[in-house]
Structure 1
Amino acid sequence: MVWNKEAECMNKEAKKELQLKRLQETVKLAYENVPFYTKKLDDAGVKPEDIKTLEDIEKIPFTTKDDLRAAYPFGLFAVPDDEIVEIHSSSGTTGKPTVSGYTKHDLDVWAEITARGLDMAGAKKNYIIQNAYGYGLFTGGFGIHHGGYKFGATVVPISAGNTARQLQIMKDFQCDILTCTPSYAMYLGESLEKAGIGIDEINLKAGIFGAEMWTEEMRQKIEASLGIKALNIYGLTEIMGPGVAQECMEQDGIHISDDHFYPEIINPKTGETLGFDEKGELVLTTLTREGMPILRFRTKDITSLMSGDCACGRTTVRMRRITGRSDDMLKIRGVMVFPSQIEKALLTVEGISPNYLIIVTRPEILDEVEVKVEASRELFSDEMKEMEKVEKRIVDAIRGETGLRVDVTLCEPESLPRSEGKAVRVIDERNFD
């Protein structure tokens, strides 16, 4: 079953015609109603009528997160205030938050794309969805909620946190689908075992996990601990929220709702547009958004668009899982490293928990990296000699994946901070002033 067969299985030529029509309408909307885009396009010598083909999108300047911060709070809205019916915002932990405004039409689109995602996860109308994404200004909880309402399933808006209550609801309500961050899903799996609740006592069939990067190895551990199929969902506040893209049960790439969002991959250093299967930075343009149209937004997320078709029958373009961000690469002793590479290495080593923390310092001239990892209960109660062997295996695994020699510290089980939202994995204490 496909939720919206007409849109999700559309002939590719028809899709291109629809994308071009919607792109032209979006550029016109932004140019005529958002002073920021009026100036941006005028400065680039581009008028809405210059967009005659999809390739002409490359004439349009990029939009960055700094642009959105400069427009705080409502400088990018394209409709009168009384047409904005919902507002969300990023946390603003690294500066001014970015604000996202939605019209009733935008919420309908958001509900549509997340309903597609629930269908990809195998949902049925009698399913119970345990929505453990945070509600509030964060888009996660409401995005899934809107989609569940449109789909017709039962949504339990439990939000993030209160793990004991999560497990009780999971067991008592016999929930079918879990939605939350992958790091919290991992923690719920650990807590399930600790509480003495067997997989046979719950009814979960699938999980929809996003809002942070995670590896294939982490997926396998989540699937084993919860007895589910774990699927990747992608979204961002600036564009819409969760549901911009999601994996289907084939787990072979993340389907982008490309009738609503036009994807590009660029070289993050030069801005040059790259082709299918070439790795670079994802750029997204909204095609149907009324309240806040966004043109060529640089997401900073590193991925590639996949060529070929998915076995599920959907023709929407797919992207590979996010492997890092162009702005969270760590340059350590001249080597560029993504935290996800270290996570991948850690998850190949037996006897440790997937909870870790990377601490980067520069005490004198050279960078130093310490990776703190929780040992399993069995390993922590074992002899020191055995722990030293595991530490060496971790060091070798990280060196094999990244080429870097790091210090590894095995910590007591459950001693590192847990996150109910996005996990904090890196602390960079270097002073670059």
Structure 2
Amino acid sequence: MIWDERSECMSRDEMRELQGRRLRHTVERVYHNVPFYRKKMHELGLEPGDIQGIEDLSKLPFTTKQDLRENYPFGLAAIPMSQIVRLHASSGTTGKPVVVGYSRKDLRTWSEVVARALYSYGVDNHDFIQVAYGYGLFTGGMGLHYGAEKVGAAVIPISGGNTKKQIQIMKDFGSTALACTPSYALYIAESMQEMGIKREDLKLRVGIFGAEPWTENMRKEIEESLNIKAMDIYGLSEIIGPGVAYDCEMKNGLHINEDHFVPEIINPETCEVLPYGSKGELVFTTITKEGMPLLRYRTRDLTVLKDGECECGRTLVRMEKILGRSDDMIIIRGVNVFPSQVESVLLEMGETKPHYMLFVDRVNNLDILEVWVEVDEVFFSDQIRKLESLTKKIKHNIESTLGIGIKLKLVEPKTIERSEGKAKRLIDRRVL
């Protein structure tokens, strides 16, 4: 079903009973079929019968990305490889990639959860959806593709890159929905201006953006520049891909498809489970996956979970937008810094371009943070006093937000390299 009212609007008691039943089945399967989990459970003195319901979830062991890499490629498969019909892998920058295998049932589940998201955005069989996420081993393109087909939309599988062609296809085909990273959406808007194509020349009305952290201010920037409603979709390859959680029209947190993926928030230092409303690291347990189910997977994403019925009528637990990833976090002179904090400051000001870079160096044993920010050309051709005033203002606002001093460099438009996928915002040059 596309609109699954029973699953998306069930009571908390009903959801916990469903999750408990599915968790028991999952634990039984991985204990008998995945040596890694059987060993982990033995180390904790656990057997499948010790897990009676969802309230026992915290007894189970955590799984980390390192565990997945150490079991590369198929060590975590819970079914024979003859029953795996699709393989995806993350593109990690270090070590071996993380491999994910899907059964036919897993692919149906994946299509369904993405379709739920698209339904909540108002996408249906009258839409032309341009999928500009990468296809291939990355889960973004294929995930949105099959979810869009499930809702009956016409899919334009253009993948990422070749921005001028993207815009031309968008105009000629009458694309009504765009799926890509939020940073690429802004790059498309910038390129449209250079090509002399106005937003009114397109039929776009909705964007499905994810795969990297982005702020509410960036949402406003995209909506204004493309004249669309910008909707958030969250997922990660290890859990299933996009479709783990999604915005609704209220834009008050992303609904987690918790009949398939059970969320927890933990303290990333102590691993203590935290109550709803607490900020911490997001952990997921998959309770319907057949191919490679995961117990208590540490995502490294930082967010807040909140329960209670949403104004849209859904009762699914919601997660706030991702603040950042704990492994993207940089510590500078004892202060935790996330690139998204800088982005938020710049977009609130409105006098800069939404393009920036952070450079971290260590000079004489002292960490130095340099921030490059693009500004309009007018500031470089105008009085030097105005440029100095803007520099002082931006520097003050960023320092007030981060709580540390920075070096600021204002650069002309196009100085910072554009990304057609995930934007790289940080270069750490320290030898640590």
Does TM, scored on the shorter chain, surpass 0.5?
A: yes
Partner SS for 2:370: strand
Query: Residue in 2 aligned with 1:13?
Result: 13
Deviations 1:166-199 (A, max 9, x none): 1111111111111000100111111122222112
Deviations 1:63-110 (A, max 9, x none): 000000000111111111111110000113122110000000000000
Superposition pairs of residues 71-220 of structure 1, within 5 angstroms: 71-220=71-220
Deviates more, 1:386-395 or 1:288-297: 386-395
Backbone CA RMSD of aligned residues: 1.2
CA contact (8 A) 1:301 1:324 kept: yes
Superposition pairs of residues 294-309 of structure 1, within 5 angstroms: 294-309=294-309
Partner SS for 2:420: coil
Query: Residue in 2 aligned with 1:248?
Result: 248
Amino acid at match of 1:240: I
Compute the displacement of 1:405 (Å).
Answer: 1.3
Superposition pairs of residues 28-107 of structure 1, within 5 angstroms: 28-107=28-107
Query: Residue in 1 aligned with 2:357?
Result: 357
Amino acid at match of 2:213: M
Distance (whole Å) between structure 1 residues aligned to residue 195 and residue 370 of structure 2: 32
Question: Post-superposition, which runs of at least 4 consecutive aligned residues in structure 1 deviate over 3 A?
Answer: none
Distance (whole Å) between structure 2 residues aligned to residue 143 and residue 229 of structure 1: 21
Compute the displacement of 1:206 (Å).
Answer: 1.0
Query: Residue in 2 aligned with 1:23?
Result: 23
Deviations 1:287-318 (A, max 9, x none): 10000010000000000111322111111110
Query: Residue in 1 aligned with 2:323?
Result: 323
Partner SS for 1:272: coil
Query: Residue in 2 aligned with 1:417?
Result: 417
Amino acid at match of 1:420: E
Partner SS for 2:14: helix
Superposition pairs of residues 247-326 of structure 1, within 5 angstroms: 247-326=247-326
Amino acid at match of 1:157: P
Distance (whole Å) between structure 2 residues aligned to residue 59 and residue 324 of structure 1: 27
CA contact (8 A) 1:101 1:291 kept: yes
CA contact (8 A) 1:351 1:379 kept: no
CA contact (8 A) 1:282 1:301 kept: yes
Distance (whole Å) between structure 2 residues aligned to residue 351 and residue 314 of structure 1: 38
Query: Residue in 1 aligned with 2:227?
Result: 227
Partner SS for 1:142: helix
Amino acid at match of 2:273: T
CA contact (8 A) 2:308 2:315 kept: no
Distance (whole Å) between structure 2 residues aligned to residue 123 and residue 382 of structure 1: 46
Distance (whole Å) between structure 2 residues aligned to residue 308 and residue 380 of structure 1: 51
Amino acid at match of 1:129: I
CA pair 2-306 structure 1, distance change in 2 beyond 3 A: farther
CA contact (8 A) 1:205 1:229 kept: yes
Compute the displacement of 1:334 (Å).
Answer: 1.5
Distance (whole Å) between structure 2 residues aligned to residue 208 and residue 426 of structure 1: 24
Unmatched tracts of structure 1, length 5 or more = none
CA contact (8 A) 1:349 1:393 kept: no
Deviates more, 1:214-223 or 1:323-332: 323-332
Deviates more, 1:385-394 or 1:234-243: 385-394
Q: Tell me if 1:344 matches 2:371.
A: no
Compute the displacement of 1:328 (Å).
Answer: 1.9
CA contact (8 A) 1:2 1:120 kept: no
TM-score (structure 2 length as normaliser): 0.98
Distance (whole Å) between structure 1 residues aligned to residue 345 and residue 89 of structure 2: 34
Compute the displacement of 1:351 (Å).
Answer: 2.6
Distance (whole Å) between structure 1 residues aligned to residue 92 and residue 176 of structure 2: 34
Distance (whole Å) between structure 1 residues aligned to residue 381 and residue 30 of structure 2: 62
CA contact (8 A) 1:130 1:177 kept: yes
Deviates more, 1:95-104 or 1:47-56: 47-56
CA contact (8 A) 1:182 1:212 kept: yes
Distance (whole Å) between structure 1 residues aligned to residue 42 and residue 51 of structure 2: 14
Distance (whole Å) between structure 1 residues aligned to residue 217 and residue 75 of structure 2: 42
Compute the displacement of 1:2 (Å).
Answer: 6.9
Unmatched tracts of structure 2, length 5 or more = none
Partner SS for 1:179: strand
Distance (whole Å) between structure 2 residues aligned to residue 152 and residue 350 of structure 1: 39
Compute the displacement of 1:378 (Å).
Answer: 2.9
CA contact (8 A) 1:380 1:413 kept: no
Superposition pairs of residues 372-411 of structure 1, within 5 angstroms: 372-411=372-411
Partner SS for 2:372: strand
Distance (whole Å) between structure 2 residues aligned to residue 319 and residue 170 of structure 1: 32
Amino acid at match of 1:291: G
What percentage of residue pairs aligned between the two structures are identical?
54
Distance (whole Å) between structure 1 residues aligned to residue 33 and residue 24 of structure 2: 14
Deviations 1:330-376 (A, max 9, x none): 11111111111111112222331111110000021211111011112
TM-score (structure 1 length as normaliser): 0.98
Report the number of matched residues. 432
Partner SS for 1:259: coil
Distance (whole Å) between structure 2 residues aligned to residue 372 and residue 323 of structure 1: 21
